[in-house]
Amino acid sequence: MSNISIIGTGNMARAIGELAVAGGNTVEIIGRDQTKAADLAKALSGGTTTGRFGAVPAGDIVIAALLYANVVPVVAHYGEALAGKVIVDISNPFNSTADGLAIPEDTSIAQEVAKTAPVSASVVKAFNTIFGVVLSQGRPLDVFIAGDDARAKAAVAEFIETLDLRPLDVGDLNMAHWLEGTGLVVMGLARHGVGHFDFALGATTAA
Amino acid sequence: MSNISIIGTGNMARAIGELAVAGGNTVEIIGRDQTKAADLAKALSGGTTTGRFGAVPAGDIVIAALLYANVVPVVAHYGEALAGKVIVDISNPFNSTADGLAIPEDTSIAQEVAKTAPVSASVVKAFNTIFGVVLSQGRPLDVFIAGDDARAKAAVAEFIETLDLRPLDVGDLNMAHWLEGTGLVVMGLARHGVGHFDFALGATTAA
């Protein structure tokens, strides 16, 4: 079981929070809006607590469940309060038409978080290829993860397993750029070939 | 059933050729090396023919089963011989360490093919996220496709269905860049989280 803090009170925060509580993890919800955070913590139950925005989070793993444009500013705001933490970036930096990324080719939100966070923190990209609506159904799903720190990836993988999901390592943090691109492919499939949002991308091996 | 020409005599040419013949399509194999092309055509049997490299291909759909660096030069060499054809680019422009793309951020091999091919030709990106070893097993797999021409995509989708594979439209040809990036993710999974090459990426819907 893991000690998790989730910064954010939106759909992804709720979906991951529900799975995290069901998986027996200790969960803390943090929001700029303390009332929203308290409401979500109450809805999650299972002893979920709330933390003060900007203070040292209670969890060893801190999930930034924020819109992509807010991730780096929030990590910068936290500063040394994130020292030693494993920061999980789940964002998709889609452009306004969701057919390209709103960031340069040589980086990703996760890599920008790594540049911004304390040197003692580790950043892992995860969950961005899964729609919240699918995640909240909790069925077996593959969660692609990328990061430079093997111990941080192992910690996040262990957490993901408590959610009854399958963590699949894609490689170093520079792969976060391509995981964010894979988020675009998932969006393209939802709009075109699949035609709905109730699916997930996964790796299937021969039966 | 479709009329297919495959330019190339390597593993992907063989894997797609085998499925194409099994699916009842008319198949032509084209290689710079006429002997290799004849050998592959003989191995595929099913009435597979060979064509002369650089001449107008017999197929309505022309699959460039080439190393990525050769795709644009070969399309340029063909020139007007590809007028009116549906050109399928299956390449992965991996850099030497296969953790980045060897092309600029604002394009893809498929988009470069579109710039190079006759205006009456249409380009579709397909098959690049599937390892040849997996494709040759022929089990149900998702084939992601991208292109600007709906009729060309429909023709390629119809061909893919004769292979007992599932075509899934990802969107316009600008998505080819992100499909090529998804190829990197597949490679990363093979090296890390999955640990072998005998898997494919697919979209799964709730049971």
Residue range A6-27, pLDDT digits in tens: 999 999 999 999 999 999 999 9
Residue range A46-60, pLDDT digits in tens: 999 999 999 999 999
Whether B145 shows a pLDDT value over 90: the answer reads yes
Give percent above pLDDT 90 in chain B. Answer: 89
The number of C-alpha atoms within 13 Å of B58 and in the hemisphere containing its C-beta is 16
Chain B residues whose beta carbon lies within 8 Å of the beta carbon of residue A185: 144, 170, 175, 178-179, 182
DSSP letters for B9-68: -SHHHHHHHHHHHHTT-EEEEE-SSHHHHHHHHHHH-TT-EEE-TTSPPSSSEEEE-S-H
The Cα of A125 is separated from the nearest Cα of chain B by a number of Å equal to: 13
Query: Given pLDDT bands bounded at 50, 70 and 90, which one contains residue A139?
Result: confident
Handedness of CA A147, A22, A184, A7 (dihedral sign): negative
Residue range A69-126, pLDDT digits in tens: 999 999 999 999 999 999 999 999 999 998 899 998 889 999 999 999 999 999 999 9
pLDDT at A60: 97
Task: Return all residues near A5 (Cβ < 8 A) that are at least 6 apart.
Answer: A27, A28, A29, A30, A51, A57, A58, A59, A61, A62, A63
Residue A44 phi/psi, 5-degree rounding, is: -75, -30
pLDDT at B105: 86
Residue with tokens 């959610």: A163
pLDDT at B139: 72
Whether A207 shows a pLDDT value over 80: the answer reads no
Residue range B87-144, pLDDT digits in tens: 999 999 999 998 899 998 889 999 999 999 999 999 999 999 999 889 888 678 999 9
Among B106, B134, B205, select the one facing A199 at the smallest CB separation. Answer: B205
The Cα of B72 is separated from the nearest Cα of chain A by a number of Å equal to: 22
ipTM at complex level: 0.90
Determine the angle formed by the axes of helices B176-191 and A176-191, rounding to 10 degrees.
120
Pick the residue of A185, A187, A197, A198 with the most B CBs within 10 A to test the interface with B by mutation: A185
Query: Given pLDDT bands bounded at 50, 70 and 90, which one contains residue B43?
Result: very high
Single-letter code of the amino acid located at A21: V
Residue with tokens 């889609």: A94
pTM: 0.92
* Three-class SS state of A73: helix
Distance CA B132, CA B10 (A): 10
Pick from A131-145, B65-79, B147-161: least confident: A131-145
Chain B residues whose beta carbon lies within 8 Å of the beta carbon of residue A106: 105
Residues on A contacting B at a C-beta cutoff of 8 Å: 99-100, 104-106, 134, 137, 139, 144-146, 167-172, 174-175, 177-179, 181-182, 184-185, 188-189, 191-194, 198-207
User: What's the mean pLDDT when you consider all of chain A?
Assistant: 95
Residue range B6-40, pLDDT digits in tens: 999 999 999 999 999 999 999 999 999 999 999 99
